[in-house]
Amino acid sequence: MEGTKHRLIVFLLLLASVQALCNDYRAEIYRAYVSDRMDAWKEVIDRMNSVPVKTDEFILELINYQYGYIGYCIGFDKKSEARKYLDLAQQNVNILVKHNYRLPVLNAYYAAFYGYRIGLNVLSAPVNGVKSIEYAKKAVDLDPGNWLGLVQYGNIQFYMPRSFGGSKQEGITYYYKAREILEKDKDKLKDDWNYLSLLVVIGQSHYYLGEYVKAREVYENILRLEPGFTYVRDELYPQLIKKMKES
């Protein structure tokens, strides 16, 4: 009985230390994101990957940061780097699937990863596009409040050609649904790079469609929340203001 109690205490202490680590990593990732330091972001995920004992919650947190880094690599044409971290992220998702852990969220990551494969090889779109849609649908069917699944749906609609059923306006609608879900618990938005990233996507989507006033509202809201957000402050917002003056 005494030995069982001792093991339980050790287990609870381990969980507490892992949770503290997750909070530290979250803050580091957030600082890297707002200061446009993807080298620091990469250092965090490499450090997390080297942790010998990982809880399911820890692995899911790591997947989220890998997901963000892969998107950055594809956006800046670092395809070899993107493939490396996509493989690592996929392995982590597979581990959690075996544990039956947070399946709606994992399906959303599957959807995202198939979308990334299209970014790495556009010729794979017919196959990977169908799989991405399938997993995004499954993610939201399993949990209608799955904000990440809604984001993937939004991405699919926004970037799919109209001839194949895509709709940019419908894509934005899904982004706003995801935003609404995230904003229901404002305490959880502290140091959350996902929330700022979603706002950026919404602003960029309005900009792409020539809806400059709506884009300005989104960007100004972002800068109220995080005045030091380098990407919005120094690039997106000045670009928008210049465009508005020209038109």
In this prediction, residue 74 carries a pLDDT of 97
Per-residue pLDDT band for 5 (boundaries 50, 70, 90) equals very low
Residues 94 and 150 in one domain: no
Say if residue 75 is in the same domain as residue 146: no
Domain count, the chain: 2
Instruction: Report how far residue 157's alpha carbon sits from residue 197's, in angstroms, rounded to the nearest whole number.
Output: 18
> Are residue 97 and residue 145 in the same domain, yes or no?
no
pLDDT of residue 65: 98
Is residue 114 in a domain? no
pLDDT for residue 13 is more than 60: no
My answer on whether 93 and 152 are in the same domain is no
94 and 129 assigned to the same domain = no
Q: Is the pLDDT of residue 47 over 80?
A: yes
Token look-up 């990469």 returns 42
Say how far apart CA 99 and CA 109 lie, in whole Å. Answer: 16
Q: Say whether both 35 and 70 belong to one domain.
A: yes
Q: Answer yes or no: do 96 and 192 share one domain.
A: no
Answer yes or no: is 1 within a domain: no
Distance CA 246, CA 114 (A): 38
What SS3 state is found at 1?
coil
Q: Is the predicted pLDDT of residue 117 greater than 60, yes or no?
A: yes
Domain membership of residue 175 as a residue range: 122-247
* Lowest-confidence pick of 95-99, 144-148, 165-169: 165-169
* 175 in any annotated domain: yes
Same domain? 132 vs 49: no
Q: Is the per-residue pLDDT at 16 higher than 90?
A: no
Q: Kindly report, residue by residue over 56-85, the tens digit of the pLDDT.
A: 999 999 999 999 999 999 999 999 999 999
The answer to whether residue 129 is domain-embedded is: yes
Rg (CA), the chain: 19
Q: Tokens 């709506």 map to which residue? A: 214
Are residue 57 and residue 136 in the same domain, yes or no? no
pLDDT score at 164: 83
Per-residue pLDDT at 26 exceeds 70: yes
pLDDT at 10: 44
Q: Residue 77: its pLDDT value, please?
A: 96
Which pLDDT score is estimated for 2? 54
Residue 247: what pLDDT? 84
Q: Which two tokens stand for residue 199?
A: 């706002």
Which residue among 72, 101, 130 closes a domain?
A: 101
Residue 86 lies in a domain: yes
Q: How far is CA 33 from the centre of its chain?
A: 12
Decide: helix, strand or coil at residue 176.
Answer: helix
CATH number of the domain at 192, please.
1.25.40.10
